[in-house]
Amino acid sequence: MTTFIRMPEKSHSEIPGERIAKVIARAGLASRREAEAWIAAGRVSVNDVVISSPALNVTPSDRIAVDGTPLRARERTRLFLYHKPRGLVTTHSDPEGRDTIFRALPKGLPRLISVGRLDINTEGLLLLTNDGGLARVLELPSTAWLRRYRVRALGRVHQDALDRLHGGVTIDGMHYGPIEATLDREQGANVWLTFGIREGKNREVRKVVESLGLRVNRLIRTAFGPFELGDLDDGKVREIETAELQRTLGDQIIAEANADFDAPLADAPEVRPAKKPAFRKQETGPKHRSHEPDRRKRHGEQKHPGHRRRDRSGGPRPKHPRSR
């Protein structure tokens, strides 16, 4: 018979320790919300007793287990920069069976969670960490870190309309705070914009751009607070060194997140290049190709009828510069 623990008859402030969901999240197993769901499902035990409510404080002397597996010792707080490709969803498992970022990550990394999300068609910088407490703090609106995006959109817009976003805007009853927006250039029927937001509400940039009469066809996050995408290649990961991470976060965020930079590393694997996601087709053919120009190129034919080469100009490190 499963035994459930009885709640203590004390207020939270009088009970030593930390909330159980917070401890699980900080161990990098799940977010607080996910940990609370695990508890409600009877998957978590404390001192060999299954608990049913997250309203429980635990101390380092308590034995915590998830699905019968003891909670591992706390690891050092770590943060990784990831260049998310388009076509991946930011989740550990997707009910629709779509490819996820966590399946595409290099092998040998610790169990990571994302700091916020990027939708399936958005590419660029995504922060990953093994510390749920740090992820929560960096996501908070009160932290107010600037998220910067490059946007390519179909249509025309003037800088005056973008300047009016500085005071915020309300769309379909949802208010978005001050937005920094700049018209960078026009390119054919498209415009390239730079957007800076601090709230990071769901699909905020897309909705604001569409409210201007534009249609987004490429969205790239280039910075999240002090962390920048830089020259990080598509699908690759880079870890921020501990000393640099401490300096960048600052004492206030470290204290609020209860980050631990003195704990040992469970392992220190080398971050290998990420494999291309399964949905991307690999090029095939002989390793040694003839120097003779391709017949289709000689005769000005396209490889496929109606095929248009993807326009990557204007974004970070275009792989196929446009010919002049």
User: What is the DSSP secondary structure assignment for residue 57, as one 8-state letter?
Assistant: E
- 59 vs 39: CA distance, rounded Å: 17
Amino acid at 211: S
The candidate with the shortest Cα–Cα distance to 112, out of 91, 94, 96, is 91
Catalytic residue check, 119: yes
44 close to 3: Cβ distance less than 8 angstroms: no
**What are the backbone dihedrals phi and psi of residue 244, each rounded to the nearest 5 degrees, phi first?**
-65, -40
Per the rule left: phi > 0, alpha: psi between -120 and 50, beta: everything else, 23 is alpha
Among 81, 85, 73, 86, CA closest to 129: 81
Report d(CA 20, CA 7) in Å as an integer: 13
- Rounded Cα gap, residues 81 and 240, in angstroms: 7
Query: Do 220 and 192 contact (CB within 8 A), yes or no?
Result: no
Amino acid at site 240: I
Note the Cα 12 to chain centre separation in Å: 32
CA–CA distance from 53 to each of 30, 42, 58, 65, 148 (Å)?
Answer: 16, 9, 13, 15, 39
CB of 111 closer than 8 Å to CB of 276: no
Catalytic one among 99, 119, 233, 260?
119
Residues with Cβ < 8 Å from 270, sequence gap 6 or more?
Answer: 108
The alpha carbons of the chain give a radius of gyration, in whole angstroms, of: 24
Distance CA 80, CA 255 (A): 20
Catalytic residue list: 119
